[in-house]
Chains A and B, each alone.
Chain A
Amino acid sequence: MAAERIKKLLCLWRVYAYLDFMLLTRDLRLFLNYFITDTLLNLAAVSGTFLLAERFAGLGMWSKPQVVFLLGYGMLVGGLINTFFSFNVLYISRRLGRGQLDHTLIQPQPLWLSLLTEGFMPLSGSAILLPAVGLLWWAGAELGLDPGAGWWALFAMQILASATIATAFSFLWGSLAFWAPRAAEEISSSALRIVYQLTPFPLDGSGPLLIGGLLSVLPIGFVAWYPCRFLLGLSPSPWDGALTPLAALFFALAAGLTFAKGKKHYERTGSSRYLSFGHRR
């Protein structure tokens, strides 16, 4: 059963990768424009933090290469989310608010499988992944990181956990659109805007109340800052490495339960709105 599910998952990713490839290669100029623009926009989004680190030779206890590592990590998380959950899967409130969940419900597969695969865009998403890898590589070289297999495993685990938290955060807020389709249509994008705006900053030096808030109610600290502290050896305790995956588990569970509750509500009420744009590329 599990093997069949994995096979189906891979088949679906393959067909969505094919659709992404067909979309981008329809016009070479469009492809290059899209790729270059997206790369530049994403680099511009983190340039403010980089310039501050450059001007002051770091930020607080973080050296310049450490800040660049943080920026690269945050971009990698964002890039992975964009690669796997594009086209309003990540911005789930748009689909729910626009009455487009019906399209997914008439597919003969579990809803989670549809949501895990429908937004897969490996080519379009890589416009963020490549500069992110470049930043991480440069920072690693400057910091003299010589990671072994264990460090890479921890890195992968932290990245996965951070991406899960950001996605779960979007779904958690986005599920509100089940109850308020019009009012909450854009709530996922608002929630993620907060995440992306605060991600590129080291949070050390903030008060415990603020840090506590940014690691719980608004779990932005887990998207880059907290796991980077651990990976770069800035954490006081080696157990800090377990907190981000645990938080990911908690937020994924909370988002899953809220979404399931919202879906039950949707089954009862349906959607009185329907907008055709946005869920098909």
Chain B
Amino acid sequence: MSAPAPPGTSVSDIAVDARGLCKTFRQRQRSEKLSQVFANLFRPQIRLVEALREVDLQVHRGEIVAYAGPNGAGKSTTVKILSGILAPDAGQVRVLGLDPIADRVKYVGRIGVVFGQRTELWWDHPVAASFEWKRVVWEIPRPRYEHMLGQVRELLSLDEFFHSLTRELSLGQRMRADLGLALLHEPEILFLDEPTIGVDVLAKRHILEFILELNRTRQVTVMLTSHDMDELEQLAGRIVLIDRGRLAFDGDFDQLRRRFADRRRLRLQTRSGQAPPLRGAELLGSEGGWHEYRFDAGRTEIVALLEEARTHSPILDVETHRAPIDEVIADIYQQWRQ
């Protein structure tokens, strides 16, 4: 399922090489019935949840990969395995040529991890103190540290709150500080698990621009998860979709649109206020003489739709555009559930 390597790709070009990853979790089941509560004491009911099933994933150096899927699809499990926190039940994983669990100490010195819902910052200390702490723990040489510190302070605009206590920062400020902290040791690969969750539009733009800049100037490999598909499309050239532990898609966003129906929107302004019925298109709404339709460009040609519309009423104006990626993904998730 994984995307084929570009021609001329050597083994050393591959940053993440995961093959046949499997991970199963055990979930205890509880019943409300009293008889089963007692039975559970002696023979607990366990449900096996397959978080990852035979996942193959290769990420090339310098690539930005979006890793998406519905809740519980296995995204965070994958990131934890790639970060050396969790071991797979089966399969092999090498990142930067190292085994994340067996070579943990050496390995985590070369990667950066940001979990959007957690912070590595010291809560009751100024941001500056956390950065100094990181320098010592990661053994970053002073000149390199000063150089990177200057860069992240400038690019992420950390100066305005660099000496404020972490617990007094807004969520967006905290995320920027966490990102800066994750980059101080110049990681070769960055795992970002929902790095913009809960942050406002401006802070999000700041963070996205920074990630792009980092990838462009330093060729840092980035693998990020998010539920915000627009955000992923802005950042990543490649999207990997996972559903119930299986890789369901691996390619670019255009391929994704084409593969799961080439969804388009058609907006027509007609002389009559009534929306013309069009075969192969679904009317979404009408307002002020404008009628909006959804259709699959792979099945229905836009010319045919326009000709059919003209038979009902003269057309005054036309607009067409692709459906937002969020809508495409939502439809895909819906299909998977069914």
Contact = CB atoms under 8 A, between A and B. Distances in A.
Interface string B152-180: 00000000000000000000000000000
B87 A103 contact: no
Interface residues of A, number: 26
Interface string A251-281: 0000000000000000111101010100011
Interface string A1-41: 00000001001101100110011000000000000000000
A270 B137 contact: no
A267 B86 contact: yes
A105 interface: yes
Contacts of A109: 105, 137
B113 A106 contact: yes
Contact of B85 (A18, A106, A272, A276): A106
A108 B109 contact: yes
B297 to A, nearest CB: 43
A15 B89 contact: no
Contact of B124 (A15, A269, A276, A281): A281
B205 interface: no
Contacts of B105: 108-110
A154 B216 CA distance: 62
Interface of A: 8, 11-12, 14-15, 18-19, 22-23, 102-103, 105-110, 267-270, 272, 274, 276, 280-281
A15 B108 contact: no
Contacts of B26: 269
B133 A11 contact: no
Given A105-B84, A105-B108, A108-B106, A276 B139 contact: no
A276 B120 CA distance: 10
B123 interface: yes
B119 A276 contact: yes
A147 to B, nearest CB: 38
B149 to A, nearest CB: 16
Contacts of A272: 25
Interface of B: 25-26, 77, 80, 83-87, 89, 101, 104-109, 113, 115, 117-125, 129, 132-133, 136-139
A14 B136 CA distance: 9
A109 B132 CA distance: 17
A268 B136 contact: no
B80 A280 contact: no
Nearest to B26: A269
Contacts of A12: 136-137
A6 to B, nearest CB: 14
B255 to A, nearest CB: 33
B125 A22 contact: yes
B299 to A, nearest CB: 44
B187 to A, nearest CB: 11
The 7 A-B pairs of least Cβ separation, nearest first, read A108-B109, A267-B87, A15-B136, A280-B123, A270-B86, A108-B108, A102-B85
A268 B87 contact: yes
Contacts of B104: 105
Nearest to B101: A267
Nearest to B137: A107
